[in-house]
Amino acid sequence: MSKVHVKKDDLVMVMTGKDTGETGKVLQVLPEEGRVIVENVNMATKHKKPRGRGQQGGIIHQEAPISSSNVMLVCSKCKRPSKTGSRIENGAKVRFCKACGETLDVLREKKQ
């Protein structure tokens, strides 16, 4: 199990591979494998067999997982991919952009 630096619904840019430069929203994080599924990135073709009377078979295009090390979070303020860090602000642990210093989101609220 590896630590993944992005979360679901984050906007990320692919840095390496066949989809280099593409941006998309993280649909799912797979921390056990260290991979993420990004919207409209690394599209795979799947041949689906009909199961049952009411279902239809065919060729389906869906997103396949890519390594989380191949994506970078896109900062909402400076609008470019950047490294992230964590720090304590007002007793809560927050994620911030290392390029501009903007706070991205709260990781954990202050413990009472």
Q: Where are the domains of the chain?
A: 1-74, 82-112
pLDDT at residue 1 is higher than 70: no
% of the chain at pLDDT higher than 70 = 95
Residue 110's pLDDT is 64
Given a contact cutoff of 8 angstroms between Cβ atoms, the answer to whether 11 and 79 are in contact is no
111, pLDDT greater than 70: no
What value, to the nearest 5°, has the Cα angle with vertex 20 and ends 60 and 7?
75
Residues 6+ apart with CB under 8 A from 2: 31, 34, 68
pTM score of the predicted model: 0.83
Mean of pLDDT values over 28-57: 93
Distances (CA, A) of 51 to 46, 56, 57: 15, 8, 8
Pairing of strands 66-67, 71-73: unpaired
- Judge contact between 29 and 45, C-beta under 8 A: no
pLDDT score at 102: 85
Q: Which CATH number fits domain 1-74: 1.10.3210.10, 3.30.70.3270, 2.30.30.30, 3.30.1330.60?
A: 2.30.30.30
